[in-house]
Structure 1
Amino acid sequence: MKSPHQRVMEICREPYTAFIKRSEGGWEMEKSDPDYDALEKERQKLLLAKQRQRARANAAGKIQAWWRGTLVRRTLLVAALRAWMIQIWWRTLTWRCVRKHHQALLKTYIIQEQAAVKLQSWVRMWQCHQRYCQMSNAVCILQAPNCCFDFQTNDVLQPQYKGTSNQLEFHIEILSV
């Protein structure tokens, strides 16, 4: 059995016995062969079959293009999701790094502030101690044994100690005679 393409080629090779003549409306063909109509129908069938085959090939091409596009879109979606996950991982990593850096800076600041507070408290305590020593020396000078003023030690200096959990308050009252 011959394929439609081979049959069309055979028909095209066969010599037609039709005559073409010019008429008032254009060119006309006169038939001289009784099989001309059968051959023309066969040729029309083959052309129609060829057109259908082309249409099927075009439809198959469109379906294949759609499928390839779907595969490409799917691949691109997977790649985009992976890139998104990598971006999330990177942002988390950099955020953690920045947070650790901030915490280190905060610890350094806290240590410096605590050291400054401690130094200030030592200086204030030293100043209080110096004032206390000056007052004690002044009282001792006033309490000379040959002097007519005789003070009792409990009356002269009455230190008051108030201790709290964080701060020690120290008050001295000097009573005059």
Structure 2
Amino acid sequence: MEQPGRLSKHREGHHMENCLEPRRFKGSGQTDGNLILIVIEDSEEEIRLKQQQQQQKKEKNTKERIKAAKKIQDWWRGTLGLDRSVLVETDQEMDRLRQKKRRAALISYAHTERAVVQLQSLVRMWHIHWRYCQVLNAIYIIQYRWQCHNCQTCALLRGHCVVTATHLQFHIEIINP
């Protein structure tokens, strides 16, 4: 028999209190004031029923927790699904805006470059035309002067002129008659 007030181990490993605290009873044949120990033990069937009830409570609690967790997960996934679709849409919109900006910048760059190149070519063309006009004017002046120049003691002059973009070349030959 077990000692009062102690816990004993049950077969399944659960701690159960098999004993109540000792109580003193007086009367009904107890005149000495002796200590009476009353030990109440559950039968194995009652223990099994309690364990089954506890197991059912645990299973029910577990099922409820799983159900609640599934609800939370479904809600979270739904939220994430919405967030993902919103993120995808905003990302696509940002890509479209970036492409539009990139295209607009490229077009603007192309227009400015084209304008710069055209201005440069116009300036070069004007400068070359101005230089050509100067050279041509110089040639006309030289030809006119030589045509008016009639020197009988001098030999005949034959000239050849080459005009380039940067300078003027004269080849003058003197021919004696």
TM-score by length of 1: 0.61
Counterpart residue number, 1:22: 22
Residues 1-177 of structure 1 mapped to structure 2, 5 A cutoff: 21-22=21-22, 30=40, 45-143=52-150, 147-149=151-153, 156-158=158-160, 172-177=170-175
Any idea what the Cα deviations from partners look like across 1:82-132, whole Å, max 9, x if unmatched?
A: 122112111101110110111111111111111111111111111111211
Partners of 2:160 and 2:21 lie apart in 1 by 149
Identity of aligned residues (%): 6
Contact 2:155 2:174 in 1 (8 A): no
Deviates more, 1:122-131 or 1:90-99: 122-131
Partners of 2:149 and 2:38 lie apart in 1 by 155
Bigger strand fraction: 2
TM-score by length of 2: 0.61
Look up the equivalent residue of 1:156 and give its one-letter code: R
Task: Give the length in aligned residue pairs.
Answer: 141
Contact 2:159 2:170 in 1 (8 A): yes
Judged with a 3 Å threshold, the aligned counterparts in structure 2 of structure 1 residues 52 and 148 are, in CA distance, closer, same or farther, namely closer
Partners of 2:144 and 2:118 lie apart in 1 by 39
Q: Any idea what SS the aligned residue of 1:91 has? A: helix
Q: Which runs of 5+ in 1 are unaligned?
A: 1-19, 162-166
Look up the equivalent residue of 2:78 and give its one-letter code: L
Bigger helix fraction: 1
Look up the equivalent residue of 1:148 and give its one-letter code: Q
Partners of 1:53 and 1:28 lie apart in 2 by 36
Look up the equivalent residue of 2:22 and give its one-letter code: R
